[in-house]
Each structure stands twice: as structure tokens, then as C-alpha cells.
Structure 1
């Protein structure tokens, strides 16, 4: 057996194999890695594929899994293969039904859309299906085995003691750009599906009434979305707000927690989401939130307590609630504080890892 498999935990003891098929770093990858950082202390595991791993000792190849899983564990129990993507379900099915691997298949489903027939077929091959929230559960062909909400690393995403000071200290904008006293932002890839135009149009409409705030769009711009982005830049320029509504571009992943903690308001206006960790990361950072009715956001955000949820693609509602939030700095700060408390109580990554591991152990 390969040396990788033998590091720290012998191959006969490994109980959990986790799919890791995507080369590019994604939200699913981030979630998996955060959960694994706690889960690896609770159950012997390996990750199939070395993409984006900082701990190479956890990596295992497909063929190593094939060889290892020809036999069950020493106690006769089956190992678990945990998939979070469709192609990982395919890998699991190939392992189990083609190579006769002695495994049980588990799929975590976050998507909120009607599934293709092939995806439904794959899902029926799973021994258990975990939904990430009630909304994602409603899109499954059959009820899920359980619902386990995502969590966030509250040690990484922390609230700053002084938002205004943290914003001023943030090295996000160019030296020639005016920061204003406070920052508000939308974070994620710049494209229409993420509702960036709703954020920009709302800022154009109301920012003149709130001169202390600067709005930033944090995220990468793919070539196919450059026209969309340029149209937004043109609208901002025509409104004379190029110094107050700023495209900050893609930022280093390690800097994202610092950016969150400096903000007074985070806006997320996607047409659809799987779960949507952005809002949890913002709340953990002590930031008030304004979100569309996508992903798990309506289940997570307490209306008027942590922020507000508005209908998808409702520009009037976004303008109204953004103005309401910016009009009262004291209330805005209290919402951030309340959001942090809510995450600490219900949405930590430690809690997710514990619930997930407990459930998986019931299967073996």
C-alpha cells in the first residue's frame, strides 16, 4: 500500500473517504476543508484527490481506494464514501458497482433546482442523502436521510471591535480612491446571476443620502462577464459615483476574513444558491446582512434582527431595505452583534463536523 495511506492511520482503520474532484477552488471545496479540519479528529479519514489540500498526508488516489476497499474494515463494517458533487457520485458508483468496493455511498445535496434524470438516477444509488437546508431538501426526489446545516469557522471570521477603524486600516482600495468612513460590499464572482447589478443600482440610488459609506464589489470577473461589468461601470460613472462604488477585483482568499470584519453591511442578491456561505461568514464577522430569498438565507437570517431578506430580483425591495439599514448606524451595529451570536449558537463548523460524523457513524 502507498506510503500516503499509511501515514498516521493505517489503511485498515480508515473509515471515511471524501470526494475531492474539482481542481479549481470553490465554495464546496472550502466547506469540505473546513469541516475536515475538525472531522479528522473524530473519524479516520482520507480525501480522494490532492486538489487544494494543504495537508498532503490526507490525500489518497482513486486506485488506492479501489485496492483498500476490496475488503471491509477489520471489524467487518463498510467504509463510507462521501460525495458533495455529481461527478463524485459517479466516482462512488464506479467504485461500488464496477470495482466491487465494500463501501456505503453518501451524498450531500445543496442544490436548489430540478435535477437532471441522470443526477436523480445517481442519487437513488446512494445509501444516504444529506440535505444542507430545508429548501434544498424540497428539491430532492425523495426525502433526505437527514438535514445538516453548513457552519463557518468562527475563529477565522471574527468581529472587529471598531468597524470604522478596521475599514480605514483595510488595504483594499487604491491610494487614490476615497474610502469614506464605512464600507458596504457584495462579495463573489461578478455576474448577473449573483445580482451585482441590483447592488450597484441600489447604491447609485441611495448613496448620495449616506455620504459616510463607500460600496465595494469584491470578486473576480470572467471574460464572458466583462461586458456586463463594463455596463455597470458606465452606469456608476454617469451617476458621478466612481469614487464611491468601486470594483476591488478578486482578493487573496487569506484576506477575506479581514475584509468581512471591516464591513458594516454585506449584501448577497443571488438568483439561486446551493447554501450560500457568504452570509454566514458575514454574520460571524459581526456584519449586518441583506440577502435575497436564495439558498439557506431565509432560514438563517432573522428578519429585522440580523438583517433582512428580500425577494429575488426585486430592486425596489433592495433599495428600500438598504436605505433602512444605512439610516441607523446603531441598529446596523446591533444587527451585526446579533448575527454573530446566532452563528455561534447554531452555525459553527465544529457543530457541522460533529453532526455529520455522528450521522456517518450510524451508517457503518
Structure 2
């Protein structure tokens, strides 16, 4: 069916609504925005957000309400795919109070029982998707388990692009480690730093990159990390980057040999599969969907929560065995191609939509 793209569908033709109603770029934002272009190819789509994504134009919540007040042209109702508490609230208001022709699909990544308020909201959804089996265990009446995926072509091709010969501070080092994500305890940045303090002194050819925003709340935490690295004599080999834009992430991943994801808690977590498809070896904690992503000693290493010694041991094994490092790189890339592609995610989500529409009113 021919359609207009870029979130500019006429009110009557709009059949699918996606939203990113948050003032910051978060992991949830990344997962929403990664599927936008492909869903925009399949459906007449309206995107509610404060910031556009590529060719998909963002509209305000109030613009969305004006569109959703009218019935869609080719469907019995619109589907609004929501992922946050505030989006569920607005969706329930639109459907139940304002009587708009809309049904609500919610995606949950949480691997612990939701608190009282979100449980009440989730109970009012028309369909619920879990991103992992662990997330599904925390819910009832799941329509499908659909893991998040990554745009394999974007990470593989963009990551190998030559950046006009531009050199980075870490370019002269033979082996490069990294951690991606906000610098804070929840992400395990301190566990990574402790492991660096234990391993980098033995490997003068290795360095590390810590890429992530430091909010005002965690300035003291980041300062303590630098003090630890200085005390171990490796601070000059650890490069702190501020938040890296999404379009630059493939290039950063491609310059790393090992990525650590030692989070203390993660709902799903895209970093391991983004890193793996970019050709890095991964060391991940046993949280989120990481255990489904990483086959122990085959496509990466899994470590217990709070265990910097296990992280250090895994780093040591990889830095001292180029053959093992290369094997994990190759196996990790294939694992993502087989199981965590963006195409698989979009297909799974679309099946949930089509089932709802097939059921009619």
C-alpha cells in the first residue's frame, strides 16, 4: 500500500503511533528510535516526541491527540505503541476518557516486578510485549517475546568507514578496551575501573575508553574513578569521552577490541549486541538479557554481579590470547546476525500489531 514517509501521514491515513516522551536520550529512546525507520516503511506512522529522528518528523503530544481523535482510513483503530509510564497514562486517557479509536501496545524490558503504579497501567494495555524471557516472567498475559535488535548494516558498514585519516588519542595502542553508557554505579563503571587498575599495569600496549555522560549527581563518583586510575599509574591510558552521538557509535565500537558491560541492573541493554556486531569481544554481567546474548566462552564472557575480579580475569585472558580474542569477535558478530537483528525485532512487533488489527474492535 503506498504511503507517505517521515511521520507526515495525513490524519486519516495514520494507523500507527510511536512515542518517545522523555526529555533526555535514554536506552528506551534508543530502542524506540532504532525501529522507527523500518516501521515507517511498513505503516502510516505518527511519531510523538520533542526531537525528530532522521526523516521521521516528530510531532507534539497535542498534535497527536488531534490526529487520533479522527478514525483511521483503513484500520478499525490506531495502535499506539508505548514504552513508559507517562505514555501509558496518556494512552489510557486518549482511549478511555476521550474515546479515541486507539488501542495500546506496551513493551516491557524490566526484569523485576513492577511497582504498584506501573502494574495498574500495564493491566489496562491491549497487548504487552516482553523483550526477554526474564522480562516475560515478571508479567502476565504476554502477547510475544520480542528481543531488541540492532541495525546490522549500520554497525558493520559505518563502523569500518575511514574517518578521513583522523587520529584519536588511543590510536597508538595495540589493544583498546571500552565501556559505553552513563558514568554511574548502576552501569558498573567503577567495577570496570577496578578491573583496569588490576590489568593495565601488566599490559603497556593496552588502553581504555570510558564513553558516557557524567551528570551533576555523579561528578564526585567520576572524580573518584580518576583518582583510582591515577593511584594505579594508568590514568594517562584511560580516555574519558562525553556522551557519544548515535551516528558516531559504530565508529567508536569499531576501534575497540573488548567492550565491558558490567551493569548492576539492566532491563535489556543494547551495548553487548551493538559491540558484538561491530566486531568486539564482550564481557557482560549476568543482568538484563545479557545471558541470552552471550554464550559463555563462545561469543563472550559472563561475570557475576559486583565482581571486578572476574572482569579482570576475563580481560587478562583476552589480552594474553589473540586467538581467543579473535574467535570471540567472530562468534559474537555471527550471534547477533542470527538472533538480534533489527529486522527480526520489527517483524516480531509487526506480528503483534497485525494480530490486534485482525481481531478488529
Taking structure 1 as the reference length, what is the TM-score of the superposition? Answer: 0.90
Q: 2-side partners of 1:64 and 1:5: how far apart?
A: 17
* Alignment-derived partner of residue 87 in structure 2: 88
Give runs of ≥4 in structure 1 deviating > 6 Å: 4-7, 159-162
* Alignment-derived partner of residue 142 in structure 2: 144
Distance 1:336 1:6, change over 3 A: closer
2:218 paired residue among 218, 225, 241? 225
Distance 1:15 1:270, change over 3 A: same
> Does the 8 Å contact 1:166/1:262 carry over to 2?
no
Write the mapping of 1:199-348 to structure 2, written as runs, cut at 5 A. Answer: 199-348=192-341
Deviations 1:239-262 (A, max 9, x none): 111222332333343222101011
Q: 1-side partners of 2:277 and 2:308: how far apart?
A: 26
Deviations 1:300-334 (A, max 9, x none): 11111111111111122212222112221121112
> Does the 8 Å contact 1:290/1:321 carry over to 2?
yes
Distance 1:233 1:345, change over 3 A: same
Q: 1-side partners of 2:252 and 2:339: how far apart?
A: 23
Write the mapping of 1:139-218 to structure 2, written as runs, cut at 5 A. Answer: 139-140=138-139, 142-158=140-156, 171-173=167-169, 179-218=172-211
> Does the 8 Å contact 1:21/1:51 carry over to 2?
no
CA displacement at 1:157 relative to structure 2: 1.0
Q: 2-side partners of 1:28 and 1:11: how far apart?
A: 27
* Alignment-derived partner of residue 103 in structure 2: 104
Q: 1-side partners of 2:21 and 2:133: how far apart?
A: 26
Distance 1:13 1:304, change over 3 A: same
Moved more, 68-77 or 262-271: 68-77
* Alignment-derived partner of residue 345 in structure 2: 352
Q: What secondary structure, in the 3-state scheme, does the structure 1 residue paired with 2:14 have?
A: coil
Moved more, 80-89 or 250-259: 250-259
Alignment partner of 1:40 is 2:50: no
> Does the 8 Å contact 1:111/1:136 carry over to 2?
yes
Distance 1:267 1:170, change over 3 A: farther
> Does the 8 Å contact 2:180/2:261 carry over to 1?
yes
> Does the 8 Å contact 1:128/1:145 carry over to 2?
yes
Alignment RMSD: 2.5
Give the count of matched residue pairs.
Answer: 353
> Does the 8 Å contact 2:129/2:142 carry over to 1?
yes
Moved more, 221-230 or 45-54: 45-54
Q: 1-side partners of 2:209 and 2:250: how far apart?
A: 15
Q: 1-side partners of 2:75 and 2:256: how far apart?
A: 52
Q: 2-side partners of 1:316 and 1:61: how far apart?
A: 48
Write the mapping of 1:117-132 to structure 2, written as runs, cut at 5 A. Answer: 117-132=116-131
* Alignment-derived partner of residue 58 in structure 2: 59
Q: 2-side partners of 1:248 and 1:312: how far apart?
A: 25
Q: 1-side partners of 2:73 and 2:249: how far apart?
A: 44
Distance 1:30 1:161, change over 3 A: closer
Alignment gaps of 5+ in structure 2: none
CA displacement at 1:5 relative to structure 2: 11
Q: 2-side partners of 1:338 and 1:5: how far apart?
A: 37
Q: 1-side partners of 2:213 and 2:62: how far apart?
A: 35
CA displacement at 1:33 relative to structure 2: 1.7
Q: 1-side partners of 2:238 and 2:329: how far apart?
A: 22
